Amino acid sequence: MRRCDNARLGAGFPPHEGGDESFVFDGALAMSSGRFGRVLTGLLGLPAPPRLVRAETPYAAQPLLGRAVLVGGGGDLRWAAEIVPALAGAGAQIQVAAGQPGVSAIKRAAAAAGVALKTEPNEEDRANAAYAYVFDASGFATPDDLRALFDFLQPRIRRLPKNGRVVLLAAAETATPAAAAAAQALRGFTRALAKELGRKGSSANLLAVAAGAAAALAGPLRFLLSDYSAFITGQTLTLSAPVTEPGAFVKPLAGKTALVTGAARGIGAAIAAALAREGAQVVGVDRPQEHAALTQTLAPFAGRGVALDITAADSPQRLTQLLADEFGGADIVVHNAGITRDKLLRNMSVPIWDQVVDVNLGAVLRIDTALLASAGLKPAARIVCVSSIGGIAGNAGQTNYSATKAGIIGYVEALAPALAARGGAINAVAPGFIETQMTQAMPMLPREIGRRLSSFSQGGLPSDIAEAVTFLASPLAAAVNGRTLRVCGQNFVGA
């Protein structure tokens, strides 16, 4: 693995992969809110960045304990029977709004599950106000049904607290053009609402649920409603029918072995620590020059370090042999290592092009091919690749980098059926502007612009990427396969 050695960076897409000397910059928000940040905010008429609340503890049995969630819906609430016990199991106090469509379906689901419901408190009762809203729009058949969503959220949205959550549910498959129009409208609504909520640190996301996937709703709901998803907003995550039963919510990775490339520093180190926190035995890989840093990173959770260049011809075989011999195969593989070598295409040399393609894409495919053909990968393994919003939107001077990160997205989509046939899954995360040592080296103006491109008016932290990877690597994401989840605070650049 090689380090990025260029200093010219696009404001929207600084390097963020684990091969860089990145780190958790705890003072990023303070600096963004400092004198220069305040001046820039005033000049541009931008809101001050909110302080996001991030999780600091391992997954809990009831992560929503002490929090109220208001549940509503329109038309036929297809998944009330799954939503109610999922929220109750997470410890949430479930509220319903009297007189709203769908209340009867929610009450029937609660009665069947033995769950007590609370009536939505009046507007003056702030102490018992809902922390999050969950709306089941799965039964929407025409655009006219969107009115139920408006009627539910419009009078209440100003009451959503800071760092609150809105999660909408829609059907992933539709039977008519009218239903397809309504379903697509929900995606646009979610993106627009997320931009409105960003100034208070609150998020809005959509779960598009395919036939057979509703039984696995509990995991995605826990994640999106919790503090682990602090930097994810404006996204649609599609759920497919899971090939295995969802597993435990507490220490979900206990007894599993996780391979993480680019693990010595930055995002890779954060991913390794998060996976270990949830019970995984971590095998961290980084280039030989990073051996000391890799050892230091893995020591707190007794991780196994492997110093090698992932582009070397014998690396796939060496990793396969190690995983098979010492661990009986990997349950989780995280392809995090990556580099940038920025040049405008007219100035780009063949070595610069080849190096980025080889590290960011070629090595991923070669390692996976070797693992899939051997005992180095267990049948139900989950693979997570780190892409980038640079692969979604592109960036001047990064044709090589953007090509590889878009290639990762296509690779994940194409390989998903083969992984599902084995009982596993493959997904990707696409980071946006992440606070690292390298972004701190950027000129101040481009750095501030990069931060302000998100709906939260700030960059993310390595821990935000680590939490998304941990979710996708865990049984909580049993119904997620072939997807790319943007972890960018709804960066305004890209889809």
Provide the annotated active-site residues. Answer: 401
Contact 140, 179 (CB under 8 A): yes
Distance, first Cα to last Cα, the chain: 30
Q: Give the separation between CA 160 and CA 124, rounded to whole angstroms.
A: 13
Measuring CA to CA, which residue among 248, 197, 294 is closest to residue 490? 197
What's the angle, vertex CA 403, arms to CA 363 and CA 431, rounded to 5?
A: 85
Residue 475: which H helix or E strand, with range?
none
Amino acid sitting at position 107: K
Number of other residues whose CB lies within 10 A of the CB of residue 411: 21
> In 145-219, where do the E strands start and end?
165-171, 203-209
Residue 468 dihedral angles phi and psi, to the nearest 5°: -65, -40
With contact defined as beta carbons under 8 Å apart, do 158 and 193 qualify?
no
Q: At what angle do helices 266-277 and 462-473 cross, to 10 degrees?
A: 40
Measured CA to CA, the distance from residue 143 to residue 150 in angstroms comes to: 12
Read off the tokens for 190: 């979610």
Q: What length is written for the chain? A: 495
Core vs surface per residue 388-404: b (16+ CB within 10 A) or e: bbbbbbbbebbbbbbbb
Among the listed residues 231, 136, 212, the one whose alpha carbon sits nearest the alpha carbon of residue 478: 212
